[in-house]
Structure 1
């Protein structure tokens, strides 16, 4: 915790992103990856392998755009820089190690960007005002030969909604349509790309006790991406990261984005909140 505090103090970041917790979360995720290097390794290898497999199927390697590249632990950056003339990394901010790597690799360009278009609007929202409309965008997508959304989709609503809960007193259940909108709009932008799209995202969180899942949460809030590729389990929080009594794992899907679906009657399910349900011990994913 002391090391994380020092990194938080020393890492350059806009004040607005510090206030909303983006820098804290970025450093915390990186610290967790370091603590559980062995447990995370299969997930990181699988993500990198899927990116390279998608890149290998292209017939043109001029430009690739990677969304969710603040850390690049799950991105084979050095190989992409050899394969593509230009590699565009997109995220709200980047760890210093990524900035240094970008300076050392001529093809790599950093594009700080809020792909939801709501972060600043949420931060400055007057109390009692309507929620801002998302304005999703991905820079440099129009000229890309491949777009990769890497382990970012489920994260898009987290900090904006946490801010609205804490600063505006909004009920988490009432924010469920807003969460779905942020996730669905990112998928809409990806689906409109003029090139193939590789989507890597976690879709479900499971609490595991004695090797058996006892609770599951839908991380995409009813949005269902159609992905042609692979799936695996990510040991994101082995004991005792969250508790001595259980492990936490996430189901990850990865591959070509073919489309997505939303709940048939979004209005009727918008107030249900994240789906929590008991589960049996049967796996329903790859890995």
Structure 2
């Protein structure tokens, strides 16, 4: 778990930011949240064993069909580094839902410039889960650690290498898990001008190639006015109801 209070505070700030952005952009986010839930429901329907399911990056549960997961599985494990208090309260009142506080980068808050990317944590709840869902998480894993490393003096180029290694480690780790894996992640970030014309693109996976297949859709995460008055940001998202093993 996170040992550095500044890093933990940064994760909680990110979680609050998600709440505020969702509140401001409910209509724009709705198709993405529906598409995400649909991929998860497809994974559930095809899962032969249903003792437990683990959701990685469960966050505020905006994109989690929790009632459907509770109906299908004997145990639902919500995994996040900074569970919102509303989710903590809901889990406390729901016997078959449990929370797991975990830093899925494996860093544990001990950051120093030039450090190697550690292995993801070995979590028994994931090894025993019949279904593991990595939920709009993979491309976000590096944001807080890299921001903190740059504050500590690490160069931007080194930060990009570190971020790419974190993304690859997460994918490799998911593909080694024994149960079925559902993966939802953005694969491209597109910057649009006020007329809807593409003026820039960013690779959130730092060159990582994902397996073929899956389902893709757009997420208008930041419409005009959310980040700036003259541009918007759209994510291209891919979801796998059954991530191929590697």
Is the shorter-chain TM-score for this pair beyond 0.5, marking a shared fold?
yes
Secondary structure of the 2:29 match is: helix
What residue is the counterpart of 1:5 in the other structure? none
Preserved contact between residue 121 and residue 132 of structure 1 (Cα < 8 Å): no
* Alpha-carbon distance between aligned partners in 2 of 1:224 and 1:69, rounded to the nearest angstrom: 24
- Do the aligned partners of 1:88 and 1:111 also contact (CA within 8 Å) in 2? yes
What per-residue deviation string (whole Å, max 9, x for no partner) do you get for residues 197-256 of structure 1? Answer: 100001111111212211000000001221532100000000101111111100000012
Q: Is the alpha carbon distance of 1:18 and 1:169 closer, same or farther for their aligned partners in structure 2, counting shifts above 3 Å? A: closer
Among 212, 219, 224, which residue is 1:239 paired with? 224
Shift of 1:176: 2.0
> TM-score under structure 1 normalisation?
0.80
Distance 1:94 1:196, change over 3 A: same
Residues 20, 227 of structure 1: CA spacing in aligned structure 2 closer, same or farther, 3 A cutoff?
farther
- Within-5 A mapping of 1:193-232: 193-209=177-193, 210-226=195-211, 228-232=213-217
Question: 1:131 pairs with 115, 127, 133, which one?
Answer: 115
For the residue of structure 2 that corresponds to 1:31, the secondary structure is: helix
- Per the alignment, residue 5 of structure 2 pairs with 16
Instruction: Mark the CA change 1:53 to 1:17 in structure 2 (over 3 Å): closer, same or farther.
Output: farther
1:155 and 2:144 aligned = no
Secondary structure of the 2:166 match is helix
By how many angstroms is 1:259 displaced? Answer: 5.1
Larger Rg: 1
Query: Greater shift after overlay, 223-232 or 57-66?
Result: 223-232
Q: 1:56 to 1:227 in 2, by over 3 A?
A: farther
TM-aligned CA distance change 1:27 to 1:68, over 3 Å: same
Matched, 1:117 2:106: yes
TM-score by length of 2: 0.93
Equivalence for 2:54: 65
Tell me which of 228, 233, 237 is aligned to 1:248. Answer: 233
Structure 1 contact 47–74 (Cα < 8 Å) conserved: yes
Q: 1:242 to 1:219 in 2, by over 3 A?
A: same
**Which protein has greater RCO, CA pairs closer than 8 Å, 6+ apart?**
2
Unaligned runs of 5+ in 2: none
Per-residue deviation, 1:178: 1.0
The residue aligned with 2:86 is 97
Cα RMSD, aligned residues only: 1.8
Return the offset for 1:19: 5.6
Cα offset, 1:130, TM superposition? 3.6
TM superposition outliers: structure 1 runs of 4+ over 3 Å: 17-20
